[in-house]
Amino acid sequence: MKKMLLLAILLVSAFANAQKMSTITYFQNDTLKLDLDLFEPETASKTKLPLMIYVHGGGFSGGQRESGHSFCKYLANNGFASATITYTLYAKGKNFGCDGALPNKIKSFQFGANDLWLATSYFIKNSKKHNIDVDKIFVSGSSAGAETVLHGTFWDFKTMNLYKNTLPKDFKYAGLVSGAGAIMDLNLITKKNVIPMLFFHGSADVTVPFGTAAHHFCKTNASNWLMLFGSHSIYNHALSLNESASLYTFCGGGHEYSGTLFEKDQFYILNFLNDVLAGKKVQNHTVFKTGKKTDKANPYVFCD
């Protein structure tokens, strides 16, 4: 029995250490230094690796890239390269609430998206060094990180670019994973640029809307009023474009579910990524019960 227990411990230990991590500065100028933690499978692959870039949450004013370590380790243990990045927290020290200034909110999205593009450029330029397949670069994020990857995926690069940075012409990410994210305009997502997407979101989230509503559900006279299209709205839009899309709804849940699938039950994301890589189209909506009471009169519950 003791020998079997020791063997089990060794196997768990080996699995937990089946990846290697390196910290890399992916961008630096006179005023800004941005790092990422890259996790790669311990055993060298004979084929180029798909890559996931993860962007942490924190309201564009806080959070750390280390919060993505467990997710990145999981992917590295399953044949992916995966990186969690530091990015510009433009809202730090600013009012991001309903009585804040709208330009600051939009700039927060823009700086985050630009840093995502810089990280992407780093991996494209160093694809041979890290054995990355540049046609299989995925992006993911939680909360503010999800808003970053959604805008970084669908904004026009030339229009919103802030740095002397370039991406290959007609570059597209291979897929996207959004935890409680939203986008400013559904019209940004077109038949030409749509990609496979997985969403998960609490249906009663009052921070980032699950459906279509103002950010933080601000009143229409708020100085920081901005309409946002959340997971449910983007999912339905993706279906209308006949693209692969998966939605996991936490019925009655709030913004506390913004990181759930990154932190546990990560196999849902891995299955989605593998389906995309296999060229399989998936369109599904799964509802999880949370045990929380839901207000049937609330149009943003969407638990059916």
At residue 19 the predicted structure's pLDDT band, cuts being 50, 70 and 90, is confident
Asked if 60 and 112 touch (Cβ cutoff 8 Å), the reply is yes
- Paired with 197 in beta bridges are 176, 245
Between CA 238 and CA 249 the distance in angstroms is: 16
Digit-coded pLDDT (tens) for 68-78: 999 999 999 99
**Quick check: 10 pLDDT over 50?**
no
At residue 117 the predicted structure's pLDDT band, cuts being 50, 70 and 90, is very high
Nearest partner of 119 among 77, 148, 156, judged by Cα: 148
CA dist 138 → 74, 141, 278 (Å): 15, 11, 14
**Arch. (CATH architecture) of 35-40+48-289:** 3-Layer(aba) Sandwich (3.40)
Digit-coded pLDDT (tens) for 48-58: 999 999 999 99
CA dist 184 → 111, 114, 151, 214 (Å): 15, 16, 8, 10
Q: For residue 298, what pLDDT is reported?
A: 54
- Paired with 34 in beta bridges are 27
**Quick check: 296 pLDDT over 70?**
no
**257 residue type, one letter:** Y
Q: For residue 6, what pLDDT is reported?
A: 46
What H or E segment, with its residue span, contains residue 19? strand 19-28
At 136 the three-state DSSP class reads: strand
Q: How many CA atoms lie within 13 A of 198 on its CB side?
A: 26
At 286 the three-state DSSP class reads: strand
Work out the burial of residue 123: count CB atoms within 10 Å of its CB; fewer than 13 is exposed, 13-18 middle, 19 or more buried.
buried
Digit-coded pLDDT (tens) for 154-199: 999 999 999 999 999 989 999 999 999 999 999 999 999 999 999 9
Least confident of 1-5, 56-60, 109-113, 275-279: 1-5
Q: What does the buried/exposed string (b/e) look like for 135-168 if buried means 16 or more CB atoms within 10 Å of the residue's CB?
A: ebbbbbbbbbbbbbbbbbbbbeeeeebeeeeeee
At residue 303 the predicted structure's pLDDT band, cuts being 50, 70 and 90, is low
**How many other C-beta atoms are found inside a 10 Å radius of the C-beta of residue 96?**
19
Rg (C-alpha) for the chain, rounded Å, is 19
Between CA 174 and CA 152 the distance in angstroms is: 13
Structural tokens at position 46: 């004979």
Work out the burial of residue 245: count CB atoms within 10 Å of its CB; fewer than 13 is exposed, 13-18 middle, 19 or more buried.
buried
Digit-coded pLDDT (tens) for 189-247: 999 999 999 999 999 999 999 999 999 999 999 999 999 999 999 999 999 999 999 99
Least confident of 31-45, 114-128, 261-275, 287-301: 287-301
